[in-house]
Amino acid sequence: MQDKVKEIYQEVEAYNLETPEQVEKFRVAYVGRKGVIADLFDQLKNAAPEERRALGAELNALKNFAQSRLATVQQHLENARTNGQSAPPADLTLPVVPNQLGTIHPLTLVRARIVQIFERIGFNVSEGPEIEDDWHNFSALNFPENHPAREMQDTFFVERNPDVALRTHTSSVQVRLMETQKPPIRSIMPGRVYRNEAISARANCTFHQVEGLFVDENVSFADLKQTLYHFTREMFGKQTRIRFRPSYFPFTEPSAEMDISCGLHEPGVCQLCGGAKNICKGTGWVEIGGSGMVDPNVLENCGIDSQKYTGFAFGMGIERITMLRYQIKDLRLFTENDVRFLRQFTGLG
């Protein structure tokens, strides 16, 4: 397979990219979802386990090289097209544009509101590095060696080093907090995280999470439920209900996904999607995150006596909360910096 990777690398490097038609053919053949590189990633599962990490690194380097060459050529063609058109002369008789007030980004608004809600019930705010080692991002959180999240398809590794990566969740901050602070611990961890995912209306390779951790003596699942009940009603209104569905996370046991009601299960118009059913798909429930009791192994990994202390943890995507709060239907709007979108939040705070 290594010979095949080298062969594709040479093809990408030698491919003639002079016209838009050639650029599009290159994109489909090599960078597209059904291209040669995507097919090599699919074949990675057939490689020997001891070879997967090295092969994954080579494939990721090949993918980055192809995407970089495509982006460079596309930018060059765009510049050539733009420079070939004469810009209209500036009209110096036009009146000046009056000073306009700026606006706070909707993600910043919602992050501040989340922090405000949890601070009122005793939670601190903790932060950590976005470039993490394997211990804090995976091993201390009870991820097995062969867990899919460790593979190159899900994680951005730094300089081909399998032990250093862009963090995939802010749970790594929980580990650092438990290693350096004795219980009781009560904190939330908002921040940016990274995952190797295709960009669409519902997903992005970089997004924001807020996770919470509470460790003390006699902490129970009832404490977790009441904390999340309080949060959802403060964020979405007193009429909002919450339900828990059994789930699995390596670092919590028992674990549960949490859903909030959108109003369709009761008479009246849906509170979140205005009756369009485009968010809840007509079920009356929308998933907002995961939660559970901290696994005893995680406590022991961080130097906390699991016989004496228990704890709960939860995590939510800030983009998802923002989409629900402001009825935004496309995740990409948060990073495109379109002023027409951003001006809608003027005066909010």
Instruction: Report the C-alpha dihedral over residues 260, 262, 265, 266, rounded to 10 degrees.
Output: 120
Instruction: Tell me what pLDDT residue 304 has.
Output: 95
pLDDT for the residue 276? 54
Domain assignment present for residue 98? The answer is no
Q: Which domain holds residue 17?
A: 2-83
In a domain, residue 94? The reply is no
Provide the CATH number for the domain around residue 154.
3.30.930.10
Tell me, yes or no, whether 235 and 287 share the same domain: yes
Q: Are residues 124 and 72 located together in one domain of the fold?
A: no
Question: What pLDDT sits at residue 267?
Answer: 46
Residue 118 lies in a domain: yes
Helix (H) or strand (E) holding 314: strand 310-317
Q: pLDDT digits over 125-135, tens only?
A: 999 999 999 89
95 domain-assigned: no
pLDDT tens figures, 189-200: 999 999 888 888
pTM of the entire predicted model? 0.67
Distance between CA atoms of residues 137 and 289, nearest Å:
19
Ranges of residues in the chain whose predicted pLDDT is under 70: 82-89, 99-100, 149-153, 263-282, 347-349
How confident is the model over 26-40, as pLDDT tens digits?
A: 888 888 888 888 888
Instruction: Report in angstroms the alpha-carbon separations of 174 from 58, 178, 312.
Output: 32, 6, 11
Residue 11 in contact with residue 176, Cβ under 8 Å?
no
Residue 264's pLDDT is 46
Report the alpha-carbon distance of residue 154 to residue 148 in Å, rounded.
Answer: 8
